[in-house]
Amino acid sequence: NKQVVLKNYVDAGLPKESDMEIKESTIHLKVPEGSKDAILVKNLYLSCDPYMRNRLKNIQGSYVAPFQIGSPLSGYGVAKVLDSTHSRYAKGDLIWGITGWEEYTLITAVDAVFKIQNTDVPLTYYTGLLGMAGMTAYAGFYEICSPKKGEYVYVSAASGAVGQLVGQFAKLLGCYVVGSAGSKEKVDLLKNKFGFDAAFNYKEEPDLDAALKRFFPEGIDIYFENVGGKMLDAVLANMRVHGRIAACGMISQYNNEQLDAVHNLIYIIPKAIRMQGFIVTHFYHLYPKYLEMVIPYIKEGKITYVEDKADGLESAPAALVGLFTGRNVGKQLVVVSHD
Ligand code: NDP
């Protein structure tokens, strides 16, 4: 059983491929005798997610526990059930949810997985569009932002797993949508593939405040926050009265030893801005409702999804650390096996 194992913690700074290593272990491909309500799965696709950065830190008390040194990482993935002692799962079922960064995993926390019912869509979508990232975009946009037709929406890290969906949901609702991303290729995707009204490369904007004023001369109604730091500061100064900010993530801060100061928070008072953080898992009860909305959109071609597929478990460490330099174009996943 090939595994991606954590070698050492990285409390600050960019994580490196060499902070993880590939190891082999043996595993019996059956749920062990006496293990009730467990499934033994073959992992097909693994999802690389920014929150995993926190689990590479040896910091207790975070909302996610640190990975264990010498043990395989874990995260969201798509897998096939090989053996089951759980009444809800049978051999051959497909699931998405928390699994190991390895070829085969014994899952005892079956509450953290969902059975895949719709298989007439690309299965990889359950690492993103039809999985955790999709639910994040859905809950963050519809539940947290209270969006209305015609509003001015800004999305940062807009070409990523979550951002590309937020932009498309906002367009479907009839909003004016601008996204930012870190390369020309990504900016082109935003405009030409995802249908954003406008997009810019934040790395080429020496003055973010001026850039936002150019794209939003009348201000921003909704900011879907993925990056934090300087971007958040510039946005706060450009929000409209009664604007809403969904604080989804702040990836620019995840490698920092010291968090950047936010200077413009005071604007939330006179502008009566509502800024709200959220954790996607608190919205998983809405998953059936989300599927009902999004599967027809996918089939009608109204929602599209760009994935960045790394090939083989050996490529997983590089794929994960690449999130923090913007190497990924679209949703980053790792193909462990196609069946
Ligand atoms: P992405 O697919 O967007 O990948 C990460 C991207 O972030 C990179 O490609 C890069 O894009 C950008 N980035 C990396 N470092 C920086 C930096 N220093 N400054 C600005 N941008 C940077 O990731 P996801 O869509 O999966 O996640 C997006 C955000 O949503 C993250 O902050 C994540 O933590 C958060 N999240 C929150 C959840 C919740 O429950 N609240 C659940 C899921 C995700 P670029 O080239 O454009 O810079």
Against a cut of 0.95, is the pTM above it?
A: yes
Q: Inform me whether the pLDDT recorded for 62 exceeds 90.
A: no
Mean of pLDDT values over 203-227: 98
132-281 placed in CATH 3.40.50.720: yes
Average pLDDT value for the chain: 97
- pLDDT band at residue 63 using 50, 70 and 90 as cut-offs: confident
Model confidence pLDDT, tens digit, residues 96-155: 999 999 999 999 989 889 999 999 999 999 999 999 999 999 999 999 999 999 999 999
- Name the DSSP class of 180: E
Judge whether 195 and 173 are in contact, CB under 8 Å.
no
How far is 198 from 188, CA to CA, in rounded Å? 10
pLDDT for residue 316: 98
Judge whether 88 and 107 are in contact, CB under 8 Å.
no
**Contacts of 255-263 spanning 24+ positions with Cβ under 8 A:** 255/12, 255/13, 255/14, 255/15, 255/53, 255/324, 256/12, 257/11, 257/12, 257/13, 260/228, 260/229, 260/230, 262/232, 262/233, 262/236, 263/233
Model confidence pLDDT, tens digit, residues 227-283: 999 999 999 999 999 999 999 999 999 999 999 999 999 999 999 999 999 999 999
Residue 168: how many other CB atoms lie within 10 Å: 23
From residue 208, give the alpha-carbon distance in Å to each of 18, 218, 338: 34, 16, 43
pLDDT for residue 60: 86
What fold, for 2-128+306-335?
Quinone Oxidoreductase; Chain A, domain 1 (3.90.180)
**Mutational pocket test of ligand 1: of 227, 251, 253, 281, the residue with most ligand atoms within 8 Å of the beta carbon:** 251
Q: How far is the CA of 15 from the centre of ligand 1 (A)?
A: 15
- Give the atom of ligand 1 at the shortest distance from the alpha carbon of 161: 25
Non-local CB neighbours of 32 within 8 Å, separated by 6+ positions = 38, 106
Domain ranges of the chain: 2-128+306-335, 132-281
Model confidence pLDDT, tens digit, residues 308-324: 999 999 999 999 999 99
Length of the chain: 339
**Mutational pocket test of ligand 1: of 226, 232, 331, the residue with most ligand atoms within 8 Å of the beta carbon:** 226
